[in-house]
Amino acid sequence: MAKNQEFYWRRLHSLLGVIPIGLFVIMHLVINNFATRGEEAYNGATHFMESLPFLIFLEVFVIYLPILFHAVYGIYIAFTAKNNTSRFGYFRNWMFKLQRWTGVITLIFIAWHVWETRIAKAFGAEVNFDMMENILSSPFMFAFYVIGIIAAIFHFANGLWSFMVSWGITVTPRSQVIATYFTIAVFVILSYIGVSTLFAFV
């Protein structure tokens, strides 16, 4: 019975990592990339998102609660998983290990990012171009954001590969190889979007 429960928890964990969390990550990166078009474009895009109806409901039930479950169960997986990269240095074994490392880094980054932006907004700060420009003016914070964003994107892209396998989308070895190239492309494209956004603020 416990084995069956763990199977379903892992499936839910995998699903939430793609829908809605993965979709939110893509949307968040694309909206933030408006910064490359200038301050006015960025502020307009963020203000549009903040004006969406039922915003609090969407944030709580589509973003925060799924992320919280994914993070808590992900930590459990990270600290109970048996990595075998020391004996079997295969590509997928390393991806498995990096998935756990980037999950922890991503959790730290998201917690700090939410503190600096959403919590600050609750205390009266305005989340706009100037806020991000001030945050990223520190070389340390710029490096922290680069590492955090790349870790989050890797975690999503590699998790997307695992999702397709565990949900029976890619069953054959050939389809899994194709999925590998596809998820590498996703990682490269989204990383470019995310890092170019950061440079737009400096």
Q: How far apart are CA 24 and CA 6, in angstroms?
A: 26
Minimal CA–CA distance to 29: which of 189, 158, 194? 194
pLDDT tens digits along 43-73: 999 999 888 888 889 899 999 999 999 999 9
**The whole model's pTM is what?**
0.92
Q: Count up the domains in the chain and report the number.
A: 1
∠ CA 166-168-169, rounded to 5°: 110
pLDDT tens digits along 165-183: 999 999 999 999 999 999 9
By CB atoms closer than 10 A (0-12, 13-18, 19+), residue 180 is: middle
pLDDT tens digits along 109-120: 999 999 999 899
Residue 101 sits in a domain of what CATH number? Answer: 1.20.1300.10
Q: Which domain holds residue 44?
A: 2-200
Angle between helices 2-18 and 139-166 (to 10 degrees): 120
